[in-house]
Structure 1
């Protein structure tokens, strides 16, 4: 369990954040200037709060009432920054073991670094450098891993290269992580818990699928980024069409590409703006995915749109429609309608394993 309850004045900005989250990957999400980096720096010991308490499990890192403030080197925290910050004069192996060599063989294997150990940082790609930075943080035997937008400086191919390795860390190494990001696709793929910051305060916190599927979250993440996260299993393939069939509690979805092996768990984000609603089951459409759903919430947005919460089986989806469409369709809580999702609406960056 990670517990944070801190206050810190930074000029005109006030950080006043409280949350308690379980082990796993907790994403700290928010717009630029919302306080994400200041929060993780306080956890790392690089920024001393004015008041409050920070604890990881039974270890108290900071407590203003008890006059406790562990220095960074005593906190057993690994920190991966946006830039890898490798030592340019050291080989990959020496960079990895600079702070320790805990579980070195396993870390090198999980991150796929075996063929890079004798290389110098200047000869690595951006994704390779970040994997080495991750390995170095893990070899210091941390009780908590902090990652401050580690993929922000990478282009799309490099992000696609490193995301599966972070997923392996989450599933195999199982060190608790605080993962700072402003990219909803990263959050949806990696996080188990989501903390959304707005103007230095926690706007909402909870399981990532629950938080992202709530209409109230739309203005916090942005209308283009809003979308629900569901967990599915590979149920079959249409090889001639290059499609994979995914099963979940609300039915089956067809998506392009070969997505894992039969029975494998696949987590997907379905953008709210790509969900079309119909009062009757449509016919003659090119869209492959038509799901029966029940409306759980209808909320007016800050602009001309409305967010509609949907229940498909036991899973929650989210749709964004114009207010004109919502009024014309007379959308209301409890109404049974159909959600239409194009197979191409879910991009590769929205699919996690």
Structure 2
């Protein structure tokens, strides 16, 4: 096993991609960001399908690419296993033939290992989404790679299948113990599969950390918004020894700490409590507004109230009779309110 390291610059149409990161033995690193941020280009540069303008890509003590030394190994010599978006299986080949295409020596072992031996004679069109993913992974492993790359590994799956296959893939990655880099636009996929997550925008990694670090201490407004937190723009000022934030929509809330001036007030959905309309409890931040949407999400329900999304249990929805149009109070504590500078505020639609 080996450490994957890269520090590359690649000119793209609207910006220059500049990414430096590493993935250690058995570590899975995810790059997450909106479409067009440059994520897949990172994978293609590691695999040898894109040539960076400058920089290095190394796997252990092997240089796969080094602009200064003139090293640019062809894809077949890099020792990279690539699982493509929607898996890119050959439709005219059987499962066995797809896996053998990458390396015939271990086919039987891999079919057994990934639980697809009974599908050896089937063609991709007859497989479920989860089965196709296992075939794609078996094919990537058949070449005995030193690193695994995944491009949107779960995007081709429906929501029901996605949750199950996400768990299966996490278990397989732990078993394989290879350095792994995956890219996705879905923060839930990234946090479920990766040890560390990097949030990417316009070719730059804005913040790299564990999922908990990104949630607890987002570097800026873009990161906070992208990892799924509520982000409410406003202006912070000190009033009588308290940090007061006047939100753009007019409400006034308080935070325990943070900068003055233009800020984004960040609140996690699970830190928001929904209550029947009435006098606010002292010491809490309160947003009073009609329920805009009630959206089930697994065993939880997301309720949108004004600028906030709260995540509550289904029993709470039934108890309060939450439905669009009902006026409620969404409350959260000043201690649960983080303030970030607005310099990294995501553009509309990001």
Report the TM-score range of the alignment, normalised by the length of the smaller protein.
0.5 to 0.7
What is the CA–CA distance in structure 1 between the aligned matches of 2:50 and 2:154, rounded to whole Å?
A: 23
- The superposition leaves residues 11-33 of structure 1 with CA deviations (integer Å, 9 ceiling, x where unpaired) of 33211112233231110111111
Q: Unaligned 5+ residue runs, structure 1?
A: 228-270, 274-294, 310-316, 331-339, 346-353
**Structure having the higher Rg:** 2
* Equivalent residue, structure 2, for 1:2: 4
Cα–Cα, structure 1 residues 103 and 167, in superposed 2: closer, same or farther, change >3 Å? farther
1:57 is displaced (CA, Å) by: 1.8
- The superposition leaves residues 43-93 of structure 1 with CA deviations (integer Å, 9 ceiling, x where unpaired) of 111000000111122221111111111111100101111122212222111
Q: Partner of 1:152: helix, strand, or coil?
A: coil
Cα–Cα, structure 1 residues 105 and 320, in superposed 2: closer, same or farther, change >3 Å? farther
* Equivalent residue, structure 1, for 2:97: 94
What is the CA–CA distance in structure 2 between the aligned matches of 1:296 and 1:187, rounded to whole Å?
A: 30
Cα–Cα, structure 1 residues 41 and 298, in superposed 2: closer, same or farther, change >3 Å? same
**Which range moved further: 4-13 or 58-67?**
4-13
Say which of 215, 219, 222 aligns to 1:219. 222
Q: Partner of 2:93: helix, strand, or coil?
A: coil
* Equivalent residue, structure 2, for 1:85: 88
Map residues 232-243 of structure 1 onto 2, 5 A cutoff: none
Aligned pair 1:51/2:54, yes or no?
A: yes
Q: Partner of 2:223: helix, strand, or coil?
A: helix
Cα–Cα, structure 1 residues 116 and 185, in superposed 2: closer, same or farther, change >3 Å? same
Map residues 101-140 of structure 1 onto 2, 5 A cutoff: 101=104, 103-140=106-143
**Which range moved further: 45-54 or 129-138?**
129-138
What is the CA–CA distance in structure 1 between the aligned matches of 2:95 and 2:43, rounded to whole Å?
A: 26
* Equivalent residue, structure 2, for 1:16: 18
Cα–Cα, structure 1 residues 318 and 206, in superposed 2: closer, same or farther, change >3 Å? farther
Cα–Cα, structure 1 residues 221 and 129, in superposed 2: closer, same or farther, change >3 Å? farther
What is the CA–CA distance in structure 2 between the aligned matches of 1:318 and 1:299, rounded to whole Å?
A: 24
Say which of 56, 64, 69 aligns to 1:66. 69
Cα–Cα, structure 1 residues 55 and 301, in superposed 2: closer, same or farther, change >3 Å? farther
1:115 is displaced (CA, Å) by: 2.0
- The superposition leaves residues 295-320 of structure 1 with CA deviations (integer Å, 9 ceiling, x where unpaired) of 986579988x51259xxxxxxx9857
What is the CA–CA distance in structure 2 between the aligned matches of 1:167 and 1:52, rounded to whole Å?
A: 31
Alignment check: 8 A CA contact 2:108 2:117 kept: no
Q: How many residues align?
A: 260
1:342 is displaced (CA, Å) by: 4.1
1:164 is displaced (CA, Å) by: 2.4
1:123 is displaced (CA, Å) by: 1.2
Alignment check: 8 A CA contact 2:45 2:52 kept: yes
Alignment check: 8 A CA contact 1:216 1:299 kept: no
What is the CA–CA distance in structure 1 between the aligned matches of 2:88 and 2:202, rounded to whole Å?
A: 29
Q: Partner of 2:101: helix, strand, or coil?
A: coil
What is the CA–CA distance in structure 2 between the aligned matches of 1:344 and 1:302, rounded to whole Å?
A: 36
Alignment check: 8 A CA contact 1:5 1:54 kept: yes
What is the CA–CA distance in structure 1 between the aligned matches of 2:201 and 2:123, rounded to whole Å?
A: 40
Cα–Cα, structure 1 residues 131 and 221, in superposed 2: closer, same or farther, change >3 Å? farther
- Two-structure CA RMSD over aligned residues (Å): 3.4
* Equivalent residue, structure 2, for 1:179: 182
Q: Unaligned 5+ residue runs, structure 2?
A: 233-254, 274-279, 286-309, 316-350
TM-score, reference length from structure 2: 0.65
TM-score, reference length from structure 1: 0.65
Q: Partner of 1:97: helix, strand, or coil?
A: helix
